[in-house]
Amino acid sequence: MKTFFSIPLTLVACALLAAAAPLRAQTASECLACHADASMQDAAGHSIGVDEHKFGSSIHGVLQCVNCHADIKGYPHPDKIAPVKCEGCHAGEAQGLKGSVHSDGADHPCTSCHGDAHQIYPKTDPRSAVYPLNVPKTCSACHNDNGMAKKHGLESVYPSYIDSIHGFALSKEGLLVAANCQSCHGSHHILSRSNPESATNKANVPATCGKCHAGIADSYSNGVHGKAIAAGNMKAPVCSDCHTAHAILQPTEAAFRTQSTPICGSCHTDKFSTYRDTFHSQLGSLGGYVETARCWDCHGAHEVLPASDPRSPIAPANLVKTCGRCHAGANASFVKYQPHANARNRKLNPALYYIGLFMNLLLVSVLTFFLIHTILWLIRSRYEQIKRRSAKGGNHA
């Protein structure tokens, strides 16, 4: 009596079925005669109730129940039915999932991201679990504190993301263009960052961020870091090395400015230690409402160029202008200041080395002499005091 059971589940068929509205209504109501009961459960305790109205308005609302539950041939049907195979229609997506980090279908059924199978909406629909503004929440079901991902040794990224500039743009401003998880990681074919094909593989990060930040990607590719990465030198930093991957902050924010100098310093250790000796660093470490020069204020942030390049802000010809951005009145003599002078290196900075040495010797000799002087004095005075008091009758000794 149900003649359409063998209809293949293809998009063409979907369209045909949509046209066959009266037939569908009849069949759906047949199933819903039982399954409209929201409290209905299978033997394992899973809900098997279907909200007719919500299903009807979902993207699959035009389909028949049996289009997906293809092993049901009539009524009564067996208690245990086969899992629905989405790839019958969604072959491309299923292909993408293969080899991805979420390829294990048992751990990651389609519904884990797309939500209730009977209430799936197009990704442009705000009700959809994969609508841009809902994506982070959806991923956070696993990638959060105490989420599934932690059991696999993955860090909890949702809290970092949601407090990041991307997370704020998305959750507070509701910007559809704000980067959500899948903007960088992709959706079905998500690969581990160790995979060279992954969008988040180090070599591909500049291109991935550059999808939105095209201007910055362009200047980055002109700088020494971008050129090194392009040449295959993976020691050079990409976007995420300085900005982090998930906890990205507004770069003008004090928190970012304070946290990022050590990041440059993690590679440029010698420059970092000499920077630490300067007033720029001493004040900068304390933070506050005025700012002191950090690495990129002088060297540039994305288009980092060596001093030998005339385009570089630290090229000798550009120093007066670069220093003058903060130091009004900077002149040719002023820019002879060495922002990375090393007072511990006699060969590089002899004047500074000997001045430092003299000051230290002065400090040590003065303090040593007076420390001995004072200690001896203390002992002698106490001795005299006791002697005097005992001479007077010893009442206070």
Partner 1 sequence: MPDLEQTGAASEASGSAAGRFITRFTPAQRYMHGVLFSTFLGLAATGLPMRFSQSFWARKLASSVGGFGTIIFFHKLCAVVLTMAFLIHVKDVFQRGILNREKGIFWGPNSMVANWKDVTDLVSHLRWFVGLGKRPQFGRYAYWEKFDYWAVFWGMLIIGFSGYAMWFAPFFARFLPGWALNAVLVIHSEEGLLAILFIFSIHFVNTHLRPDTFPMDMVIFTGVESEEEFKEKRPGEYESLLKQGKLESRLGAAPAAWWINFARVIGFTAILIGLTLLVLTLSAYFRE
Residues that bind partner 1 (CB under 8 A): 254, 276-279, 281-290, 292, 327-331, 333-338, 341, 343, 349, 351-352, 355-356, 359-360, 362-363, 366-367, 370-371, 373-374, 376-382, 384-385
DSSP state of 84: P
Instruction: Quote the least distance from Cβ 286 to partner 1, whole Å.
Output: 4
Closest distance of CB 272 from partner 1, Å: 12
Q: Between residues 14 and 341, which has the closer beta carbon with respect to partner 1?
A: 341
Q: Answer yes or no: are the C-beta atoms of 190 and 162 closer than 8 Å.
A: no
d(C-alpha 292, C-alpha 289), whole Å: 10
Shortest gap between Cβ of 87 and partner 1 (angstroms)? 55
- The nearer residue to partner 1, 290 or 317, going by C-beta atoms, is 290
Smallest distance, Å, CB 331 to partner 1?
6
Tell me whether residue 1 or residue 351 sits nearer to partner 1 (CB atom).
351
Comparing CB distances to partner 1, the nearer of 5 and 377 is 377
Compute, in degrees rounded to 10, the torsion defined by CA atoms 216, 217, 218, 219: 50
In the complex, what is the shortest distance from the CB of residue 192 to partner 1, in angstroms, rounded to a whole number? 37
CB 338 within 8 A of CB 349: yes
Specify the residue, 57 or 360, whose C-beta has the smaller distance to partner 1.
Answer: 360
Pair of tokens at residue 172:
């507070």
DSSP structure class, residue 235: T
Q: Which is nearer to partner 1, 67 or 281 (CB)?
A: 281
Write out the DSSP string of 136-196: HHHHHTTSSTTSHHHHTT----HHHHHTSHHHHHHHTS--TTS--HHHHH-SSS---TTST
What is the closest distance, in whole angstroms, from the C-beta atom of residue 374 to partner 1 in the complex? Answer: 5
Token representation of residue 40: 């209905």
Q: Tell which residue, 66, 87, 63, has the closest CA to residue 13.
A: 63
Read off the tokens for 273.
Answer: 């230690």
